[in-house]
Chains A and B, each alone.
Chain A
Amino acid sequence: MESNQTEFSYEKPFFEEVAQLPPDPDEAQSKTSSGIKAWIQSHLLITTIMITLLILLLIVGIAALILQPKVKELELMNIGTTESSPIPVSPLEQKITYIKTELNAADPTRGQEPFPPIDMDIRLDSTQR
């Protein structure tokens, strides 16, 4: 058992909790505002890029909406006159495409009206008179 009580009293201050001072309100506010500024500065690059992309997407979307009716109109004009093949660049090519369509319709292996599948010799008695 320890008998030296003075040693204990000497070490006491080391085991005591340090008293915390209340924070200074001005210092805390300045720390917060500088943190936000740092955050904004570090994310400004990404934010700007995202806003730019958004604007571009809007521009492309509007342009697509404006151009779409025109394309549909032209498609409608071509219905009934040409097939959905690539659009020829000249009237001559247009005529060639049309004649090709007519040629396909004239394929001799199909589209013919074959002789009807009927019995040409219907009779009750097996021999002719």
Chain B
Amino acid sequence: MNLKLSFLASGIVFTSLVVPSLVWAQTESPAAAKEVVTEESVNETEGTVISKPLLEDEIKNVEQTYKGQLQVYRTAQNRYQIAKQQYTQLQTLTSLEEAVKTTREAMVARNDVLLTYLTLLRLNLIQATGINLTQKEPTITALEGAHKWLEQHQDKAKSANDRYQILEVADEFSQYQTSIAALSYKTTSLLAIGKLQSVYDKTLLLSEQVETEVVMGKEDVKQEERKRAKVEIERELSDVQRIFSELNNDIEDEDTSFSRSYFNTLQRELGSIYSRLAQTLSHLSELVRL
């Protein structure tokens, strides 16, 4: 009797554990199939979406140099400020000599930082996508021009030996410093716009593909819902395009003065584009699943 009971119990245990595991194994199969599909999709999208960086290594090297030069500049700047203060207080020839020397060193270190920064901007701009060529090429030329001017100015700074030559070099730089800053802010603005413009272009292409494959490709009860969703997405993308046009018009306008405040305003505008694009991509994701 007990033996029969034990066989019955083992049968129940086996059934209750083996059957669910078999069911689990069957439910795993579609997941595996899903993974295979994903793998194919990765290969399929490789050619269209993934882009290889061209100047990445060079940019990284320049960034390292830039960081090192900033350190050197900070040290030189501190020494310059101390020597200048001592000269103002003591008014001795020795303190003047030290002040001239440290001022020259600080100028040279600052120019080195600026030269590398301009190089970095130029490389980033060359590598960037999503920027109008009508804006990109003249800005690259302007950056090269600024770099050349700064190199010549650097030679003068290095050879300045007395307070009058130092003053001359300082005056020359002050005449050009606004242009250099404006050019830098213009370039960073273009780079910031370009990054989002590139994402927008890809989203637009994807939206067209979704329309072909999902909205028009499937004919079922949800087709009308999909069409309405697509209209909404098109409206969102059109809003983003409008903001981009306004920003590009601003940049192309010759009266626009590029400065820190301009860049801060631009960042707020770009923040709005960023949020809209994020929402559009979420909506596209929903539409694909409908």
A positions within 8 Å CB-CB of B: 41-42, 44-45, 48-49, 52-53, 56, 59-60, 63, 67, 70, 74, 77-78, 81-82, 87-96, 98-100, 102-103, 105-109, 111-125, 128-129
Report the bound CA distance from A113 to B28 in whole Å. Answer: 47
Minimum distance in angstroms from B1 CB to a CB of chain A: 9
The reply to whether B185 and A115 contact each other, CB–CB distance below 8 Å, is yes
The reply to whether B34 and A87 contact each other, CB–CB distance below 8 Å, is yes
The reply to whether B13 and A53 contact each other, CB–CB distance below 8 Å, is yes
Specify which chain A residues have a CB less than 8 angstroms from the CB of B188 in the assembled complex: 112-115
Q: How many A-B residue pairs have CB under 8 A?
A: 190
The reply to whether A41 and B174 contact each other, CB–CB distance below 8 Å, is no
B251 located at the interface, meaning its Cβ lies under 8 Å from any Cβ of chain A in the complex: no
The reply to whether A89 and B34 contact each other, CB–CB distance below 8 Å, is yes
Specify which chain B residues have a CB less than 8 angstroms from the CB of A78 in the assembled complex: 38-39, 42
Interface on chain B toward A: helix, strand, loop, or mixed SS? Answer: helix
Minimum distance in angstroms from B188 CB to a CB of chain A: 6
Q: A42-B2, A48-B6, A122-B107 are in contact. Are A89 and B37 (CB under 8 A)?
A: yes
Partner of A102, one of B38, B184, B199, B214: B199
Q: Which residue of A lies closest to B195 (CB)?
A: A106
B73 located at the interface, meaning its Cβ lies under 8 Å from any Cβ of chain A in the complex: yes
Specify which chain A residues have a CB less than 8 angstroms from the CB of B70 in the assembled complex: 116-117
Other contacts beyond A52-B13, A90-B41, A102-B199: 20, CB < 8 A: A45-B9, A49-B13, A77-B42, A78-B38, A81-B50, A89-B34, A89-B37, A98-B49, A98-B50, A100-B278, A102-B202, A103-B196, A103-B199, A115-B117, A115-B185, A115-B188, A116-B113, A120-B173, A121-B170, A124-B163
Residues 192-237 of B contacting A (Cβ, < 8 Å): 192, 195-196, 198-199, 202-203, 206, 209-210, 213-214
